[in-house]
Amino acid sequence: MRAGAFHALAMALPGVTLDMKWGADRCYCVGGKMFAVAGREGEDEPRYCFKASDASFDLLTEEGVAEPAPYLARARWVLLRSADALPDDQLTAYLTQAHRLVAAKLTRKHRAALGLD
């Protein structure tokens, strides 16, 4: 998936904001909590990183599609080996799942304020 398509997909999810962290990394957040990172602004070959469920984390890392994300693996984040490591429809499903996993940890009041409930 191209960086522009990833950005459009992430920003279309409810309550999402873009935050630049660590200098130039594009971080997608819901309720102030990160659920995905799309690498540095202007990278030729972005490497996508996102929160995964336990089963998805195991599946993606065991198949060699992704590796445990540096510094975030204990929280079950994966780093895709390349921008085209997954077909677009699968990456869309994983990104939507990442958003849902992080949003579920927000308080009920916060979710309601973001229009998530």
Can you tell me the distance from the alpha carbon of 7 to that of 61, in angstroms, rounded to the nearest whole number?
24
Structure tokens at 99: 């958003």
Residue numbers of the domain that contains 21: 3-113
Q: For the chain, how many structural domains are there in total?
A: 1
pLDDT at residue 76 in the model: 96
- Strands 77-80, 25-30: pairing is unpaired
From first to last of the 117 residues of the chain, give the pLDDT tens digit: 888 899 999 999 999 999 988 778 899 999 999 999 998 877 777 889 999 999 999 999 999 999 999 999 999 999 999 989 999 999 999 999 999 999 999 989 998 888 887
User: Which CATH number do you get for residue 91?
Assistant: 3.90.1150.30
User: Given this model, what pLDDT does residue 1 score?
Assistant: 86
Quick one: pLDDT at residue 55?
Answer: 96
Residue 72, token pair as written in the block: 């975030």
pLDDT of residue 54: 96
pTM for the full predicted model = 0.92
Q: DSSP assignment of 40-100, as one string? A: ETT-SS---EEE--HHHHHHHHHTTSEEEPTTTGGGTEEEESSTTSS-HHHHHHHHHHHHH
